Amino acid sequence: MVRAEFPMLVSLLLALVLSTGSAPISRAGTALNNSSDHFALLSFKSLIRSDPSQALESWGNRSMPMCRWHGVACGRRGRRRGRVVALDLGHLSLMGTISTSVANLTFLKMLSLPRNRLHGAVPSALGHLWHLKHLNLSHNSLDGAIPPSLSRCWHLERISLGYNRLKGEIPRELAALSNLRSIVLFQNELQGEIPHELGSLHNLKVLDLSYNKLQGTIPLEISNLVNLEFLQIASNKLTGEIPPGIGNLVKLGTLALSSNQLSGSIPSSIGNLSEMAFLGLGLNNLTGSIPSLHSLSSLSILVLAYNDLTGSIPAGLGNLTSLYSLDLQQNHLTGRIPESLGNLNLLELLDLSFNNLTGLIPHSIGNLHSLSEIDLDNNELEGPLPPSMFNLSYLNFLPPRSHTSMYNSIITSMGLFHLTWETTFQIYSSSLQISINSMVLFLPLCAMPL
């Protein structure tokens, strides 16, 4: 039923767009020209209270044409000639609010103001920018809601509003923007559910909704986004199961759903996603066993830590020879550590701590020459450490360092490049028979080539 309603919504929006968008006419009905662009830019400047690098100094200089002002680009041909087409003012620490006058820049294709200190709302009037393709307001202090009017910017391909203080729900109207390639809304205070309508955005490659307060389940419609390469919804309050249809997203290179309250088992269809390089499902309530992942030959980071996974560690993980980080800590895994893990030549981090693993530590672990962090603490492992382990080059003896709290912050972020730099190397286990119960082995960080 939901599906039946949806095309109606789209055509409604389309009608709206067609009726307001194309002609360069202001809402007041006046024709807009380069003078109105000039005026709009000066209004924009007037709301910037602080400009530490004096980037806007040239703005308003009568002996310098508007099109040569810092960060302003104009069109060269046709109707666009001499009209502002791009405003590119990122990384300038500009402080102030975004003037609604930018909505008068009829031909604006790119509005890029990331990494400033802009506050206030994202102007709803941006919906008048019919030609807008790239909107980047990330890393500011913008608050208020994401204006649903953006859905009238029919050509929008990329929306980056990450790292602000945006509240409210993700407008389902955005689903009308069929050209969207990338939606990046991470680190805001967005609430409510992920609109299932987003499942109609067939061109979407990047969807990053992480670090918000989103609730509800992952919409099943997500499995329609077959062009998706990057899906990150980590650190929200999502519940329910990971939709098995996620196995349709064959181009997925990153799937990061860590730090939610997802339950149920890990869909075995994930084992079909052969492009996957990062799979992060840690800090959830996942149960069942680890599915077969041996086909994910590009996988370099696998984090399933802090769940309720049971069963044994699949020997097939030893076939993932691109892995450099394998973190399965804090589950209920049983059985032996597979010998095959010794094939993971690139492995830098191996954390199997806080499980119920038994048996000997396989000798093959000594083959892991890249290993800089290993934690097998709190298992039921027995017997001596394999002598081969002492062939792992850079052992140092240092006092233990609490790493759990640090770990929480690492795992909840995508943590790609912090993972190996910040965690510690621990191999002590109260159940090891040899006398290293309180010994902690650290490796110097310089051993890591990242």
203 binds ligand NAG (CB under 6 A): no
Structure-block tokens of residue 405 = 């709290």
Residue whose CB is less far from ligand NAG, 88 or 422? 88
Q: Alpha-carbon distance 286 to 274, whole Å?
A: 22
* H or E, element range at 74: strand 72-74
Place of tokens 């003037």: 99
> Do 83 and 74 form a contact (C-beta atoms < 8 A)?
yes
Residue whose CB is less far from ligand NAG, 364 or 372? 364
Determine what percent of the chain falls in helix, strand and coil, rounding each to the nearest 5: 25, 20, 55
Tell which one of 149, 160, 164, 424 touches ligand NAG (CB under 6 A): 160
Q: Kindly state the DSSP code that residue 169 receives in the 8-state scheme.
A: B
Residue whose CB is less far from ligand NAG, 105 or 176? 105
Identify residues 104-123 at the interface with ligand NAG (CB under 6 A): 104, 114-115
Residue whose CB is less far from ligand NAG, 155 or 445? 155
**Identity of residue 372:** S
In the complex, least distance from residue 401 CB atom to ligand NAG, rounded to whole angstroms: 22
Interface region with ligand NAG, contact rule CB under 6 A, candidates 148-156, 215-223, 262-270, 408-416: 262-270
Rg (CA), the chain: 26
63 binds ligand NAG (CB under 6 A): yes
User: Which of 83, 59, 79 is CA-nearest to residue 71?
Assistant: 59
> Do 13 and 81 form a contact (C-beta atoms < 8 A)?
no
Number of residues that bind ligand NAG (CB under 6 A): 49
Tell which one of 294, 345, 436, 445 touches ligand NAG (CB under 6 A): 294
356 binds ligand NAG (CB under 6 A): yes
43 binds ligand NAG (CB under 6 A): yes
In the complex, least distance from residue 331 CB atom to ligand NAG, rounded to whole angstroms: 7
387 binds ligand NAG (CB under 6 A): yes
Structure-block tokens of residue 104 = 């008068």
User: What are the backbone angles phi and psi of residue 56, rounded to the nearest 5°?
Assistant: -95, 15
In the complex, least distance from residue 23 CB atom to ligand NAG, rounded to whole angstroms: 13
Residue whose CB is less far from ligand NAG, 332 or 401? 332
Parallel, antiparallel, or unpaired: how do β-strands 254-256 and 278-280 relate? parallel
Tell which one of 61, 274, 433, 437 touches ligand NAG (CB under 6 A): 61
Alpha helices in 125-192 (DSSP H): none
The CA angle 409-305-184, to the nearest 5 degrees, is 55
Residues that bind ligand NAG (CB under 6 A): 26, 28, 30-36, 38, 40, 43, 57, 61, 63-66, 82, 90, 100-101, 104, 114-115, 136, 138-139, 158, 160, 182, 239, 247, 261, 263, 268-269, 272, 285, 294, 316, 319, 332, 354, 356, 366, 387-388, 391
